[in-house]
A and B are shown apart, each in its own frame.
Chain A
Amino acid sequence: MISKKIVLSNKLGIHVRPASLIANTASNYKSNFVIRKDDMEINGKSVMGIMMLAAGYMTNLELRVDGVDEEELLREIIALIENKFGEE
């Protein structure tokens, strides 16, 4: 189980497009993936769940992965976020 805290850096936050990017990427892996914002915890493989976080610019998130391919999953998600999902 690995846990990592990260801050969102893209201006529009996690709207529909970034949410589906995260969910699709995470769905390719076997490990469990949970995203936490304040006291709300959602399943990172579900688009609806990620969007419900309503996470905006500069929001603190905690990513938690658990499973056989946890390291690769975490790496890919962090890359997506640090890349600002290909946006501004």
Chain B
Amino acid sequence: MKSLTVKTLFDLKKDDLSLKLLSKKQGLKKEITTPELHRPGLAFSGHFDSFHFERIQMLGELEIKFLKSLTPSKRYDAIKEVLTRFNIPCIIISKGLSPSKELIFLADENNIPILQSRLFTVNLQHHLTNFLQDWFAPAKSIHGTLVDVTGIGVLITGQSGIGKSECALALVSRGHRLVADDVIKIKKKEGIIIGEANKKLGHFMEIRGIGLIDIETMFGIRAIRMQKRIEIQVELIPWRRNMDYERIGLKDRFSRIFDVEIPIIYLPVSPGKSIVDIIEVIVMNHMLKVYGYNAAEIFNERLKKEIERKDKIRTYVETDKE
């Protein structure tokens, strides 16, 4: 998990969030360890049960007005309780509001940074949370090839040498877009998995027999993509007799990445089988299912009706006494 110092947060987001540092620079060294925010109103009133002190503390109009309503000595005590007893990573104030001098003084004493944003509280909460969730999103590298096939991200996996890169190359030739070959950086974001290319090394591919090729230069900008949501996984497997692969398509199988279920198709590879055509069809089938049309179910309904019809005819003929 990447660590995030307040300094990094400030440098990266000061324009987007209109940030100003109100406390001493010392506090910028503090580390933020969780993407959640907390409004410490209750803590300032002396209630410390479930006080999420490890989160960024956001002070809006409510909290600032409450503190203003206290007498100076009560205000000092309330703030002191919160800021000295607990290891708070950062305080952020919205709407360009000015904190009381007690808050700034005690924050500096305890090396807690105070950032001020001109944004309205709701907007600040929204943008800051988005940034933090993205920063702290679980991420890892996986081995596979990610291609955008007519708008659907297809993760192609399988053992080395089975033809993942060659398959992706054929898809690119057909007009689809390569996201990453061999090493895909993935992260979970709001319930979906996003795969990214390695930005520094670009869109290169290794093809056995040729070597390294640069897809962007060879096929152009339309042949690549920086990132794509992974919606389907296709695992290429060596063709073997008596293999239990899908023959009908009524039961969907899923693989799990970071707790997200991704439909998975196991494709047997052998000479003569056009894997690329099949992958295009897999994507089209997926799109039809998403729109509510499931070919296997429709066929099953028609077959059931046909069996019922034949049955009725048989019964009619057998029971005809005339």
Contacts and interface: CB of A to CB of B under 8 A. Distances in A.
Report if A and B associate in a common complex.
yes
Interface in A33-88: 39-43, 45-49, 51-52, 54
A48 B204 contact: yes
Contacts of A12: none
Interface in B133-188: 140-141, 143, 160-161, 181-183
B224 to A, nearest CB: 15
A2 interface: no
Given A48-B182, A48-B183, A49-B143, A43 B160 contact: yes
Contacts of A46: 143, 160, 182-183, 206
B160 A48 contact: no
B212 interface: yes
B205 interface: yes
Contacts of B243: none
B206 A52 contact: no
A74 B54 CA distance: 45
B206 A47 contact: yes
Interface residues of A, number: 15
Contacts of B182: 42-43, 46-49, 52
Contact of B201 (A42, A43, A45, A52): A52
Interface in A1-41: 16, 27, 39-41
Interface string B86-99: 00000000000000
Given A46-B143, A48-B183, A27 B160 contact: yes
A52 B180 CA distance: 12
Nearest to B205: A48
B198 interface: yes
A42 B198 contact: no
Given A42-B143, A42-B183, A43-B182, A51 B201 contact: yes
A40 B206 contact: no
A78 to B, nearest CB: 20
B160 A42 contact: no
Given A42-B141, A43-B160, A49-B143, 12 more contacts: A27-B160, A45-B161, A46-B143, A46-B160, A46-B206, A47-B206, A48-B181, A48-B182, A48-B204, A49-B182, A52-B198, A54-B201
Which 8 A/B pairs are nearest by Cβ-Cβ distance?
Answer: A48-B182, A45-B160, A43-B143, A52-B183, A47-B206, A46-B182, A48-B206, A49-B182
